[in-house]
């Protein structure tokens, strides 16, 4: 696995929306019954077949950086945003506010990724970005592949008694990106052949395309050496172990 070029996808959204459970489902195909909340960041990897079934098929390693969503860490988590090849925005279908907050998450990540402070200014006192939103035209300029995922379809159905899978979120509409609705406890939700699995595959293809095939040329970059980071990087991430006491899984 160590020979595969890799790309980094951030998984962001409010605390408790199900990012860790979702990341586990994507990378391991299994439900996670009782995830602890994430402090800092936890990393899982997934091998992805780029352009599967075509003559150009090739295996890449996707790193999913599952960022702890707790408000109390908002001033420090920008250290995880230095390299961003794609973003999965996660909201809880039974909690409307978590969906409304996705604009802020996008702003928080893309400000740093653009490296220009274009979407806001940093507070000199805390180093944190000032609050603010980002619009569809802005992200067009930032040019990062996006995917929106709504979790807890089961809870939303119970709460409202209505199917929620038809309605796309405002942010997916605004940015013209695909959206998946699922329950992270249902392992069939991302099973091969489902429309959700197809959307996820298309998203990962876009991430790879942007990272490695811009201008139809294989592009070398700083993150493409190795699927598993070197010891120095491991040490850095271990500092951010989650509250379960487990080191980030790399
Ligand atoms: N009913 C239901 N519960 C879910 C679903 N996905 C996650 N959960 C539960 O929601 C809670 C929070 O899930 P996490 O995956 O830890 O949420 P998170 O977004 O990683 O939270 P932070 O790490 O604090 O940012 C856990 O109790 C999960 O079991 C789902 O699809 N349906
Ligand atoms: Mg988590």
CATH class entry, domain 6-244: alpha beta
What are the tens digits of pLDDT across the range 204-233? 999 999 999 985 445 444 444 333 333 333
Q: What is the pLDDT of residue 136?
A: 56
Could you list the pLDDT tens digit for every one of the 250 residues in the chain? 568 999 999 999 999 999 999 999 999 999 998 999 999 999 999 999 999 999 999 999 999 999 999 988 888 898 999 899 999 999 999 999 999 999 999 989 987 544 444 444 445 555 444 555 555 555 545 579 999 999 999 998 887 665 555 588 999 999 999 999 999 999 999 999 999 999 999 999 999 999 999 854 454 444 443 333 333 333 333 323 333 333 333 2
The answer to whether the CB of 42 is under 6 A from ligand 1 is: no
Q: What is the pLDDT of residue 28?
A: 96
Q: Look up residue 31 and give its DSSP letter.
A: -
Q: How far is the CA of 178 from the centre of ligand 1 (A)?
A: 21
Contact of 191 with 109, CB cutoff 8 Å? no
The 3-state DSSP class for residue 114 equals helix
Q: Which residues surround ligand 2, an ion (CB under 5 A)?
A: 19-20, 38
The answer to whether the CB of 41 is under 6 A from ligand 1 is: no
Q: Which of 35, 64, 185, 244 to mutate to test the pocket of ligand 1 (most atoms within 8 A of CB)?
A: 35
pTM above 0.85, yes or no: no
Nearest alpha carbon, ligand 1 atom 9: 18
What are the tens digits of pLDDT across the range 232-250? 333 333 323 333 333 333 2
Q: Tell me the two tokens of residue 144.
A: 């990062």
Q: Tell me the two tokens of residue 73.
A: 């860490």
The answer to whether the CB of 145 is under 6 A from ligand 1 is: no
CA distances from 236 to 9, 224, 227 (A): 18, 18, 16
Contact of 224 with 6, CB cutoff 8 Å? yes
How far, in whole angstroms, is CA 237 from its chain's centroid? 17
User: How many Å apart are CA 31 and CA 154, to the nearest integer?
Assistant: 14
Nearest alpha carbon, ligand 1 atom 29: 34
User: How many Å apart are CA 2 and CA 222, to the nearest integer?
Assistant: 15
């Amino acid at each position: 696995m160590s020979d595969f070029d890799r790309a980094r996808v951030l998984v962001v959204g409010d605390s408790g929306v199900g990012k860790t459970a979702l990341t586990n489902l994507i990378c391991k195909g299994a439900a996670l019954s009782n995830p602890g909340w994430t402090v800092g960041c936890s990393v899982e990897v997934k091998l992805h077949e780029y352009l599967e079934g075509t003559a150009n098929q090739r295996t890449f390693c996707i790193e999913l950086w599952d960022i702890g969503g707790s408000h109390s860490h908002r001033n420090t988590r920008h250290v995880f945003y230095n390299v961003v090849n794609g973003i999965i925005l996660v909201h809880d279908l039974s909690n409307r506010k978590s969906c409304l907050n996705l604009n802020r998450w996008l702003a928080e990540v893309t400000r740093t990724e653009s490296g220009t402070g274009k979407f806001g200014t940093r507070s000199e006192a805390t180093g944190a970005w000032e609050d603010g939103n980002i619009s569809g035209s802005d992200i067009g300029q930032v040019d990062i592949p996006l995917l929106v995922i709504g979790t807890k379809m089961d809870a939303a159905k119970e709460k409202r008694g209505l199917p929620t899978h038809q309605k796309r979120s405002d942010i997916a509409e605004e940015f013209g990106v695909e959206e998946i609705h699922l329950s992270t406890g249902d392992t069939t939700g991302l099973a091969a052949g489902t429309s959700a699995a197809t959307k996820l595959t298309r998203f990962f293809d876009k991430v790879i395309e942007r990272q490695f095939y811009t201008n139809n040329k294989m592009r070398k970059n700083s993150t493409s050496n190795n699927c598993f980071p070197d010891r120095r990087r491991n040490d850095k991430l271990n500092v951010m172990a989650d509250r379960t006491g487990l080191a980030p899984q790399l």
